[in-house]
Amino acid sequence: MLVSLSEILEPAGAEGYAVPAFNVYNMETVMGVAQAAKKLRSPVIFQVYSRLFEQGKGDYLAPVILEAVKGLSVPAVFHLDHGSGQDTVVRALRCGASGIMIDASLKPLKENMEETRKIVELCRAAGVPVEGELGHIGSTRDETASEFTRVDEAVQFVEETKVDALAVMIGTAHGKYKKAPQLNLQRAGEISRAVKKPLVLHGGSGVPDEQVKGAIAQGVAKVNFGTDLCCAFLEGIKKTAEGTIAIDLFMNEPIAAVKEFAMEKIRLLGADGHA
């Protein structure tokens, strides 16, 4: 059942769990995630990196996601992840996205707010909620991490842009961590209480379980998993019996591996049984 980003995040915040947002790349990753959500009766977000829309792959992937969502009785969102600008946002909307992220977090505050507000206005016309990013969540390969999101700036950002969800920098990064991150959970709590909007934790792969749970207790309602889903998929490929040639059969192990991975994260976030 396709729902909007706000519809899926609202009960999560109120009931103290978070909705998992899985980055999907192809039909098989979509299938693994869908099977996990169905089995555990969990709300779920299928999200697609901006890059895939820029390369034309999003156009192929979108109908697959919408088909999976149609077959699910649990609430599900089709979300654009790290939207790079208006063109990509429009493309994702045309493809049926029910959640949009605009990421202008590398720009100075004023420009980030201007661009984000423009996208919120555009998406309002389509009835689609928007996630913005304040404080840049970088890569684990970066030499230095950005500053944590400031509470006063978060308040200003939410007031001026009217975003529906806010991605914050509290110590995570995208990719494989060299050493376990140490999240600033206190900052998450301060921002959450000040902005009264669901917070989004990016870079969920490799964050220790206790810290993920701590972040949820402090107002995080959406947790993104990308890298570790890819790793599960690739491990599944390695397990596939040598000599398997038919591609549909070749893909059975990776689908099962993604399902297992997604089930583990659904349970970690406490989202099981909430649909």
Chain positions contacting Zn ion, by CB under 5 A: 202
Which of residues 11, 175, 214, 270 is near ligand 13P by CB under 6 A? 175
Q: Which does 218 bind (CB under 5 to 8 A by kind): ligand 13P, Zn ion, none?
A: none
The string over 159-171, giving b where at least 16 C-beta atoms fall within 10 Å of a residue's C-beta and e elsewhere, is: ebbebbbbbbbbb
- Piece in contact with ligand 13P (CB under 6 A), picked from 1-9, 185-193, 202-210, 261-269: 202-210
Nearest residue (beta carbon) to ligand 13P: 226
Q: Is 187 in the site for ligand 13P (CB under 6 A)?
A: no
Residue 204 within binding range of ligand 13P, rule CB under 6 A: yes
Least Å distance, CB 49 to ligand 13P, is 7
Least Å from the CB of residue 138 to Zn ion: 10
User: Is residue 227 involved in binding ligand 13P (CB under 6 A)?
Assistant: yes
82 binds ligand 13P (CB under 6 A): yes
What character string, x for contact with ligand 13P (CB under 6 A) and - otherwise, covers 19-58? ----x-----------------------------------
In the complex, minimum distance from the CB of residue 63 to Zn ion, in angstroms, rounded to a whole number = 24
Question: Contact positions toward ligand 13P, by CB under 6 A?
Answer: 23, 81-82, 174-175, 202-205, 224-228
